[in-house]
Structure 1
Amino acid sequence: MKYVKAQDVLPEEIVKIIQEHVDGKYLYVPRKHENHKSWGENNGTKSMLKIRNIEIYKKYLNGATIKTLTEEYYLSEKSIRRIIYEERNRCS
């Protein structure tokens, strides 16, 4: 996140009002609810993990063992089982 100087983006009157409450401190202004993005949407991580999980599930359906999948994807057996369970429920 990049910091922006308040005086560069806000009217002078608003800056003065804010200074009365938080003079010289950092202030976080949250995004509007309709502009909020969930985890991984900005950098594509969420979609990459979704593709990976589908791939794991397909390999499992084609006969790959859980042990083989743990070694190939560097994930725990519990994680592989969770992915298989979630993908099975998603596809049903």
Structure 2
Amino acid sequence: MAYIKATAILPEKLLSEIQKYVQGETLYIPKSEKVTKKWGSRSGARKLIDDRNKAIKEAFKDGQPIEQLAKEYFLSMETIKKIVYTR
């Protein structure tokens, strides 16, 4: 994370207001929730897991036993149960 001088980007009025609370310290300002992306959305991992879970649910509906799904997808039986029994 690169540091940016507050004087270079903040209006003088805002800077003087912030100085009432903190001076000469490092201050972290987090991203707003609107900008923050959910886990895996950037890399595509979330979509892969969602697609896998959908395939597991479909296979379970088609009669494939939990034990077989666990072996096929290299997951525990408890994880398969969580996937197939949640909406």
TM-score scaled by length of structure 1:
0.63
Which structure shows the bigger proportion of residues in helix conformation?
A: 1
Relative distance call for 1:27 and 1:71 in structure 2 (3 A) is: same
The letter of the residue matching 2:28 is: L
Q: Cα 1:10–1:56, aligned 2, differ >3 Å: closer, same or farther?
A: same
> What are structure 2's unaligned runs of at least 5 residues?
none
Consecutive unaligned residues in structure 1, runs of 5 or more = none
Q: Which moved more, 1:76-85 or 1:6-15?
A: 6-15
Number of residue pairs matched by the alignment: 85
Structure possessing the higher radius of gyration over alpha carbons: 2
Identity of aligned residues (%): 28
Q: Deviations over 1:24-59 (max 9, x none)?
A: 12222340x544544433333322211110111222
Does 17-26 or 76-85 show the bigger shift?
17-26
Query: What is the TM-score with the length of structure 2 in the denominator?
Result: 0.66
RMSD of aligned Cα (Å): 2.6
Counterparts of 2:27 and 2:18, CA distance in 1: 11
